Structure formats: C-alpha cells, structure tokens
C-alpha cells in the first residue's frame, strides 16, 4: 500500500494554500505560520531526501543521475513514514530521462490543483519579477526544468499544458483534481470534497475553521508577522493577491491569444477559454 499523498500543481497555482489548509486541518489549533508548511508537506526535491543516495554534493550530480535515483528516493521516503506523508511536487507526471517522476508503487493518492494559465502568467511574473512576456515564455516552454532547490534535486515542470495534461487527461481514481477558482468561490465545499476524498476524519466545523485560518487575509497577516522562507528575496510578498481574473487588466489581446494558441486544449478541458 502506498504512503505518499502528492500535492501537485504547476507553479503559482495554489499548492502552498492547499498544503497550509491541510496542515491546519490535521494539526491545527495554532496560529498559522507559513514557515512550518515544509515540515508538514515537504518538497519532493528536498536535498535531505536525495543526498543519502550520492557520495558527492548534489550540486555536482547531473539531472540524469537524479532522475534515475528518484523512484528509490520516493520509496525510501515511504518506508521511513509510519503513516501517510504529504509531498509537494511541481513535476509533471510521466517519464524524464527515461525514469518515472512519480513512483506509483509508493503512491497512496494525489491532489492536483489547476489554475487558469492566464492568471498563472500574472502571478509568476510578479513572483519572479519577470515581464509578462517573459512569464508567458516560461509557461509555454515544453520540457522546462525548474531551478534546483538549494542543495537539492530538480523538478521537471514542463509547460503549463504538459503539466496539466500529465495529471488530468487520463482519469485516475487515486487523483482528485481541484480548480483554484472553485476553491476561491466555494472554499468550504471544495475543501470538503478534498477532505472526503482523502478520508480525513473532520466534521464541517473543523473544515470551516481550517478554511478561515487559511483565508487570503489570514495568510497575509501570517506572512507579515513571521515572514515566509519560500519567498524569493526579490519578491515583496508571497501572498500577493489571491484573486482570479487579473489577466484581464494585465495581458494584451495578443498575449492572451498566444497563451490560448498553445494551451487551448487544456484550457477548454478545464473551463478556461476566454
């Protein structure tokens, strides 16, 4: 039986919000501190997981070697876990350098959160201090490898369309797909679906408390108080807007069309065509 529960997404699609909600639900009763989320649901590419498989520092290890080690790394994580473990990933689901990015044998379930790529562009541009055109280039880059974690491994994010298709195109009873926009519109209902899917024993009151504790306003206050170690130094805020539809004010018609031309099939599938 698998032990890993994947919290998966393309970057800037709500992964951190989802993990913070689950942390509050499972071990809540304290004020939210975003800096604890890595202890609750760490990145799969964390160096602590990969370094034991190599004699040299990971910075000297090739992506190919890291890819080959990945299934064994994930098996090791599962074997050391007495119950279930939540792991964050931006990996697309498939093969990279001929090796699976997700070890199905140690997977219990997966949660995939998808967000309108037009809003992903805006959020990514703000997060990395890119221009809108630079952000569009990034989300359309097929096979894109994300920068390595400090002292860690890498993730193969691919393009937005590649990533979304890899997790959602073929139905999997072990995977639940949530839309970021639906989580915004009806958080208690949508997070309730997630709780039932994962079979977490929590009543409506407990779900509502976790939703309130991880509202955008609450997360902004928590970042103001504690900071957030996942925020790049060049970025003013991690929890910046938390809204939808910003692309309507930020992207030109030509920029919108470029994203639609490349991502149209997956946008149509998830209800995102303008």
In this predicted model, what pLDDT tens digit does every residue of 151-167 receive, in sequence order?
Answer: 999 999 999 999 999 99
Question: What pLDDT, on the 0 to 100 scale, is given for residue 158?
Answer: 98
* Neighbour-count burial of 111, counting CB atoms closer than 10 A to its CB (0-12 exposed, 13-18 middle, 19+ buried): buried
Question: What pLDDT, on the 0 to 100 scale, is given for residue 154?
Answer: 96
Please, are residues 40 and 133 in contact by the beta-carbon 8 Å criterion?
no
At residue 161, the 3 state secondary structure works out as helix
Question: What pLDDT, on the 0 to 100 scale, is given for residue 31?
Answer: 77
Whether the predicted model's global pTM rises above the 0.95 cut: no
Question: What pLDDT, on the 0 to 100 scale, is given for residue 1?
Answer: 62
Backbone angles phi, psi at 4, to 5 degrees: -90, 130
Count of CB atoms within 10 A of residue 36's CB? 14
What are the sequence ranges of the domains in the chain? 4-116+141-235
For domain 4-116+141-235, the CATH superfamily is P-loop containing nucleotide triphosphate hydrolases (3.40.50.300)
Q: Which residues of the chain have pLDDT under 70?
A: 1, 29-30, 226-241
Alpha helices in the chain (DSSP H): 15-27, 37-40, 47-50, 63-79, 117-128, 132-139, 160-168, 180-185, 187-198, 204-213, 216-226, 247-250, 253-269
Question: What pLDDT, on the 0 to 100 scale, is given for residue 235?
Answer: 64
């Amino acid at each position: 039986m698998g032990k890993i529960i994947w919290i998966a997404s393309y970057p800037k699609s709500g992964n951190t919000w989802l993990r913070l909600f689950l942390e509050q639900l499972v071990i809540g009763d304290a004020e939210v501190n975003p800096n604890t989320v890595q202890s609750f649901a760490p990145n799969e590419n964390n160096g602590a997981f990969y370094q034991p498989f190599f004699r040299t520092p990971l910075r000297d290890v090739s992506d190919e070697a890291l890819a080959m080690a990945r299934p064994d790394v994930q098996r090791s994580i599962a074997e050391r876990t007495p119950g279930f473990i939540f792991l964050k990933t931006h990996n697309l689901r498939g093969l990279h350098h001929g090796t699976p990015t997700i070890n199905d044998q140690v997977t219990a379930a997966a949660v995939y959160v998808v967000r309108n790529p037009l809003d992903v562009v805006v959020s990514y541009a703000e997060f990395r201090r890119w221009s809108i055109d630079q952000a569009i280039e990034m989300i359309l880059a097929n096979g894109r490898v994300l920068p390595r974690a400090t002292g860690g491994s890498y993730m193969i994010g691919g393009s937005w369309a590649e990533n979304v298709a890899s997790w959602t195109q073929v139905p999997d009873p072990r995977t639940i797909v949530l839309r970021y926009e639906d989580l915004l519109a009806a958080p208690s209902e949508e997070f309730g679906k997630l709780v039932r899917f994962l079979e977490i024993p929590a009543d409506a009151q407990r779900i509502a408390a976790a939703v309130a504790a991880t509202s955008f306003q609450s997360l902004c206050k928590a970042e103001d108080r504690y900071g957030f170690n996942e925020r790049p130094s060049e970025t003013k805020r991690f929890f910046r807007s938390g809204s939808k539809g910003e692309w309507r004010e930020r992207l030109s018609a030509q920029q919108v069309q470029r994203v639609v031309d490349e991502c149209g099939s997956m946008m149509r599938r998830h209800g995102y065509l303008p």
